Amino acid sequence: MRKWTATLLAFGLGAGLLVSACSAPAAKLAAGERTIYLAAIEPKGTTNVSKEPFPAQALPEGGGYGLDEPDADGNWVVETYRWLPGEITVAQGDRVTLEILGVNGDSHPSAIEGYDLTFEVKRGQLTTVAFVADKPGIFKIFCSVHQPSMTGQLVVLPSS
């Protein structure tokens, strides 16, 4: 009986500390310098009709997806373009530098909505985009050529 009492007491104490920590006022986010590294990538998957049937349903329109029909040997390919990572989070007031490496795709004319930022990412090149995250919210980062899949988001957390 004493073992259970000690366990329950420890659990209650731990739960109380957790509730106390979770109900404490949130700390203000301090603006700072943030460098975030991204990549323009193209994941691909290849298989053969002897292992998996070719999909009967087409993928959404746009340059963001590719589905190559089986070749003479029955091999087929599926691919998509993506930002890696697909979401970045900063604090309002941060001086943000995005270092974006073009890994796949020859050109990615891109923008961050709500910040009037446009840039182009090219394969084998590093593109630098610098700005101050002065507006809180969620903003779309997209490549205009590889829609709908090459869309990410910039999350700017409010400073207060």
Q: Is 10 left (phi over 0), alpha (psi -120 to 50) or beta?
A: alpha
Q: pTM of the prediction? A: 0.78
Q: So what's the pLDDT on residue 31? A: 78
Predicted pLDDT at 140: 98
What is the radius of gyration, based on Cα positions, of the chain?
Answer: 23
pLDDT digits (tens, 9 = 90+) for 45-80: 999 999 999 999 999 999 999 999 999 999 999 999
With a CB cutoff of 8 Å and minimum separation 6, the contacts of 74 are: 48, 49, 50
Q: Where are the domains of the chain?
A: 33-157
| CATH number given to 33-157 | 2.60.40.420
The SS3 assignment for 152 reads: strand
CA distance 76 to 69: 5
pLDDT of 14 higher than 80? no
Residue 11 pLDDT exceeds 90? no
Task: Compute CA 85 distance to the chain's CA centroid, rounded to the nearest angstrom.
Answer: 4
Q: So what's the pLDDT on residue 29?
A: 62
Please, are residues 90 and 157 in contact by the beta-carbon 8 Å criterion?
yes
